[in-house]
């Protein structure tokens, strides 16, 4: 890693959607902040010609597994993977072991983040104690401990009255809700999308209805209470439509899509490879196209990975018994550039916004721009570089990717956090 205090990123294409900038210009960095390049004395010049210089990307949906399951991932390896994938910040989900349902766990995460993390880690707290969906967690104390949002990710509060109280209570502390929408009965023992392939393969399906139903519930509560509910990993066609209509009516609903739901479909399951097992599941081609359309028309404002590390031992089992989840930090930019930018679905500026202003707006934070005076969190991208995924080279401690061996176009070239290069492949 390069240790530089003051430097100029010279000749790059600066894409900063927060300020509507997409032009070739220089960016100055000094003492960890963005500065006017003309004001730096004797700067080091870093040539970034033909590269895209964007505000530091933030992944709104990451499982770091620490505390609890450090054989799958740690704060150190997870943030190294984030850096290598072009992310300057990540939002850490609270379903650790123990779950982040108290200030003590948040304090543990904060301390370990200071010691080991190479990118910014924004912790979240649970909505309910032990993620059980039964009693509200100490949301006020969590806020004081530093969480940026609350979520029961991996689970979904089934009791609508409790959910209503959680939303109302979180509103009073200004904490947005990040909800994993899933009706537990409709999901049942499902292991993949319910549709043609689950029928042909004889596997238990997870119907799109299980997602749609809870999204509809959240829309109703959001409208009623007037507070922000962010729908995590939208996967089904009709879910996108529900969110689109809600947003048109001014309801405070936002949504994220994952790289895998925009690039893969349920027919991959026929190989019985557990690296294609995640929740929500890979759905049909129609669903995939609808999610992409949601990104294109602005219904979905965030791309997040749902980076969910699992050890090879945990994944090398019968499909039914394997845990849900795949990792995504080191493949997100290549996959999304290929599927969205090179396929001409999104402009580069819109693409960048899904990782910058999108998350910032939902969390109510002021990251995600290259404005002078802001912390120098920068993601530098080579949009043309061929990238063949080799999971054995990942920084993540886990290897559970569905993209191994696939080739993509475009990749992060460098990641800068507070002026410091935490990942640097410029010129390599």
Partner 1 sequence: MEVNWTRKDLLSLYDLDPEEIVLILDTAEEFKKVSERNLKKVPALRGKTVVNFFVEPSTRTRVSFELAEQRLSADIINMTASSSSLQKGETLLDTARNIEALQADLIVMRHSCAGAQNFIAKNISSGVINAGDGAHGHPTQALLDLFTIRQKKGRIAGLNVSIVGDILHSRVARSDIWGLIKLGANVTIAGPSTLVPRDFEQIGVRVCHNLKDAMEGADVINLLRIQHERQRAGFFPSTNEYARFFGLNKENARYLNPDAMIMHPGPINRDVELDSALADGPQSVILEQVTNGLAVRMAVLFLVSGCLKK
**3-class DSSP state for residue 328?**
coil
* Residue 405 touching partner 1 (CB under 8 A): no
Scanning 41-49, 94-102, 260-268, 316-324 for contacts with partner 1 by CB under 8 A, the matching segment is: 316-324
319: how many CB neighbours lie within 10 A of its CB? 17
* Residue 318 touching partner 1 (CB under 8 A): yes
Of these, 201, 220, 361, 406, which contacts partner 1 (CB under 8 A)? 201
What does the block give as tokens for 120? 């910014």
Of these, 24, 45, 200, 388, which contacts partner 1 (CB under 8 A)? 200
Beta-sheet pairing, 253-257 with 302-303 = parallel
* Residue 285 touching partner 1 (CB under 8 A): no
CA distance 295 to 345: 8
Of these, 317, 365, 371, 388, which contacts partner 1 (CB under 8 A)? 317
What does the block give as tokens for 302? 């965030």
CB of 156 to partner 1, least distance (A): 22
Question: Looking at residue 56, what DSSP letter applies?
Answer: P
* Residue 195 touching partner 1 (CB under 8 A): yes
Residues 294-313 contacting partner 1, CB under 8 A: 313
CA distance 367 to 370: 9
CB of 196 to partner 1, least distance (A): 5
Q: How many CA atoms lie within 13 A of 108 on its CB side?
A: 19
CB of 323 to partner 1, least distance (A): 13
Of these, 20, 202, 250, 373, which contacts partner 1 (CB under 8 A)? 202
CA distance 77 to 64: 8
**Of residues 227 and 276, the one with the C-beta less far from partner 1:** 276
Binding mask 14-53 for partner 1 (x = CB under 8 A): ----------------------------------------
**E strand intervals along 134-279:** 150-151, 177-179, 192-193, 205-206, 229-231, 253-257
* Residue 206 touching partner 1 (CB under 8 A): no
Q: How many CA atoms lie within 13 A of 93 on its CB side?
A: 27
> b/e map of 133-160 (b: 16 or more CB within 10 Å)?
beebbebebbbebebbbbbbbbbbbeee
Q: How many helices (H) and strands (E) does the chain have?
A: 14, 18
Scanning 45-53, 111-119, 199-207, 407-415 for contacts with partner 1 by CB under 8 A, the matching segment is: 199-207
**Of residues 202 and 405, the one with the C-beta less far from partner 1:** 202
Q: Are 128 and 134 in contact (CB under 8 A)?
A: yes
**Of residues 3 and 189, the one with the C-beta less far from partner 1:** 189
Question: Looking at residue 302, what DSSP letter applies?
Answer: E
* Residue 196 touching partner 1 (CB under 8 A): yes
Closest CA to 30 of 377, 368, 376, 379: 376
Scanning 98-106, 133-141, 196-204, 225-233 for contacts with partner 1 by CB under 8 A, the matching segment is: 196-204
The helix (run of H) or strand (run of E) holding residue 108 is helix 103-116
**Going edge to edge, which strands form the sheet with 253-257?**
150-151, 177-179, 229-231, 253-257, 302-303
Binding mask 322-361 for partner 1 (x = CB under 8 A): ----------------------------------------
Q: Indicate which residues carry an active-site annotation.
A: 306
* Residue 319 touching partner 1 (CB under 8 A): yes
Scanning 13-21, 147-155, 191-199, 366-374 for contacts with partner 1 by CB under 8 A, the matching segment is: 191-199
Scanning 163-171, 198-206, 386-394, 395-403 for contacts with partner 1 by CB under 8 A, the matching segment is: 198-206
**Of residues 19 and 321, the one with the C-beta less far from partner 1:** 321
* Residue 203 touching partner 1 (CB under 8 A): yes
What does the block give as tokens for 45? 């010049």
Contact footprint for partner 1 (CB under 8 A): 195-196, 199-203, 271-272, 313, 316-321
């Amino acid at each position: 890693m390069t240790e530089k205090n003051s430097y100029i990123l010279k000749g790059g294409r600066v894409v900063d959607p927060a300020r509507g900038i997409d032009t070739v210009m220089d960016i100055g960095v000094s003492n960890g902040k963005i500065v006017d390049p003309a004001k730096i004395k004797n700067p080091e010049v870093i040539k970034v010609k033909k590269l895209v210089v964007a505000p530091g990307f933030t992944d709104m949906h990451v499982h770091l597994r620490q505390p609890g399951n450090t054989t799958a991932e740690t704060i150190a390896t997870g943030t190294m993977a984030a850096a290598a994938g072009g992310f300057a910040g990540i939002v850490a989900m609270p379903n650790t072991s123990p779950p982040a349902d108290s200030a003590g766990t948040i304090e543990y995460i904060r301390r370990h983040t200071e010691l080991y993390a190479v990118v910014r880690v924004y912790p979240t707290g649970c909505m309910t104690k032990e993620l059980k969906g039964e009693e509200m967690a100490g949301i006020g104390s969590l806020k004081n401990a530093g969480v940026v949002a609350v979520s029961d990710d991996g689970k979904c509060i089934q009791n609508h009255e409790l959910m209503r109280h959680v939303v109302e209570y979180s509103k009073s502390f200004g904490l947005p809700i990040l909800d994993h929408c899933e009706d537990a009965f409709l999901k049942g023992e499902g292991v993949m999308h319910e549709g043609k392939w689950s029928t042909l393969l004889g596997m238990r399906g997870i119907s799109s209805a299980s997602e749609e139903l809870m999204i509809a519930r959240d829309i109703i509560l959001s409208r009623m209470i007037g507070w922000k509910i962010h729908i995590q990993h939208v996967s089904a066609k009709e879910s996108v439509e529900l969110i689109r209509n809600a947003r048109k009516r001014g309801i405070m609903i936002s949504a994220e899509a994952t790289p895998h739901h925009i690039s893969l479909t349920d027919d991959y399951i026929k190989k019985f490879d557990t690296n294609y097992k995640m929740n929500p599941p890979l759905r049909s081609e129609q669903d995939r196209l609808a999610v992409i359309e949601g990104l294109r028309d602005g219904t979905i404002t965030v791309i997040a990975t749902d980076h969910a590390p699992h050890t090879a031992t945990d994944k090398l089992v019968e499909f039914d018994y394997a845990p849900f989840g795949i990792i995504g930090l080191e493949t997100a930019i290549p996959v999304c550039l290929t599927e969205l930018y090179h396929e001409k679905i999104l402009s580069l500026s819109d693409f960048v916004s899904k990782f910058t202003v999108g998350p910032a707006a939902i969390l109510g934070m002021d990251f995600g721009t290259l404005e002078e005076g802001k912390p120098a969190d920068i993601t530098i991208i080579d949009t043309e570089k061929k990238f063949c995924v080799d999971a054995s080279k990942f920084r993540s401690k886990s290897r559970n990717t569905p993209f191994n061996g696939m080739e993509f176009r475009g990749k992060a070239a460098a990641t800068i956090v507070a002026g410091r290069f935490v990942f640097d492949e410029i010129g390599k």
